[in-house]
Structure 1
Amino acid sequence: MLKKDVNQEYKGPVSVYLKQIGEIRRLSKEEELDLWQRLEVCRDKKALLLEKEDEESKKELESLEKEIDSIQHKLVKSNLRLVISIAKRYYNSGVPFIDIIDEGNIGLIEAVKRFEYKKGFKFSTYGVWWIKQSIVKEISSKRHIIRFPMHIARLIKKSIQTSKVLTQKLGREPTTDEIAKEMKIDRKTLSYIMIFTQDTASVDSFFKNSDNNDMTSIIEDKNFPSPHQKAFMDSLRDTLTEALKCLDEKERTVIISRFGLYGKEAKTLEDTGKELNITRERVRQIQIKAIKKLAGLNLSKELKSFLWD
């Protein structure tokens, strides 16, 4: 269920849509598994038919594609609630909630097309990444954009591709550490720049869900020229220090601890909570509040001063 304030604000299309989704019968695990198995069989048959060119095979292929579409439609329909649960996290992103839902549904469709049940993963775990990717691309396209130089853009594209490959391999969202390890890169620069790419979404989601050159994330790589790297990090550290002044003491402590800033090791919600003698949930709340403050700052000029076109 959506929070009360979300339902109250949207009395039109969103309310109608949520009501429609609520009326959809959920498939049992057995029913959904049966659909995935049938879909797999159909895909295998399609692959064989595509190699043939006789008329009978073409007719069979046409019938098979209709069956595939029908099965995929049922699977998408049965997982629409998953999109809503993820879309809620981006409710305050500045993009109309109905648009966020629409983009999430596009991601869900893509996930259904790509999912391979034989690998033994849960679809809900696998589908989250594709839904988030689609939503964040929509949000990013409607935000102020910082252009990055081509060598950085190439690294970003590489990280996106690595994330996709790991998602397919692991059947879930890869962590930032897993992506960094796969790419054989240092994660330190990412810890700094990710501060400026956040709303209420997770750090990993914004890192992975990026598109072409117009991104608000950056990663360190051995191909990044050392002099430029040092100058970049020095300027970025100064900008970050200035930005953190808008936070109160506890918020600063949480951000520094969670992101592993200023040479410190990044800590979990639980470890940060122990350090501050508060619950992990309270740490999460403070982190979200702090990130909202940072996201609302007018930092574009400062960032552009060391990012060149």
Structure 2
Amino acid sequence: MKQHLPPPSELLDELRAAGIEEGLVDHVLTALREDLPDGAVDVTSESTIAADASAEGVLAAREDGVVAGLGVAELVFRIVLGDDVEVTDRLPDGTRVAAGDVVMRVAGPTRGLLTAERTALNFASHLSGVATATSRWVAALEGTRARVLDTRKTLPGWRALQKYAVRCGGGVNHRFGLSDKAMVKDNHVIAAGGAVPAYRAVRAAHPDLPLEVEVTDLDQLRDLLDVGCTEILLDNMSTATMAEAVRVNDERGAARATLEASGGLTLARAAEVAATGVDFISVGALTHSVVVFDLGLDLQDV
């Protein structure tokens, strides 16, 4: 596989500004090596396409949605083809598109375009799927104070990319890992002997770190509000119980906590849950079971 490194600095600067550059070149190279281990060639393209043939590839949406990862797709083409590729008409990530819309054009040696095609599409199709799914939740929550959150239920090695795609779809990122925010969940509560002891233990060890505690009933909620907990996750509660939790919380006035609904939530229930008055709704399905967005690359002779 022919590789031209490093990729253009302006493209890396753009990706870095989006929060997804670190480790991305290695990620792309790993993906390319799945098709072409070192020393291997694209046997089909080498057999059927003249070495000096050139083409333009038109990357287009085949359904309606929100695109993301087009900068990553460009990175794939530039790693494979270097200065031999010309990329034009790339839409900004987060753009809403309709079936048939052109999202990017790439021109260069035909063999190289086809070598890079599948890897570029894998990145862009998956990330556009995340962005599109997120945008549907955002639309369902419109008119309420609730905002949709992602989770840590991400594909191994894809977390920064998937969380970036959530932002492209209008969602909000939850914590990135286990150290940037403390989150006391049911097993921590059991191990610590209760929600309040767990809260106090984390607050004593990390007084300045953001801290959220999961509760399963209203008694736990009241206890945590009494000790000053400012972020509370309502786990697998019925709609009626969530509405009561919001009422209890709002009675605290300026001392109210932010409330996050979580656990088995579906798009069909989104508006119903948001109407309770919760601040956030966290959805693992945005990243752990997303359907890829249909993008295709069609070659045109030049």
On whether the aligned pair clears a TM of 0.5, the verdict is no
TM-score (norm 1): 0.28
Larger helix proportion, structure 1 or 2? Answer: 1
Higher relative contact order (CA 8 A, sep 6+): 2
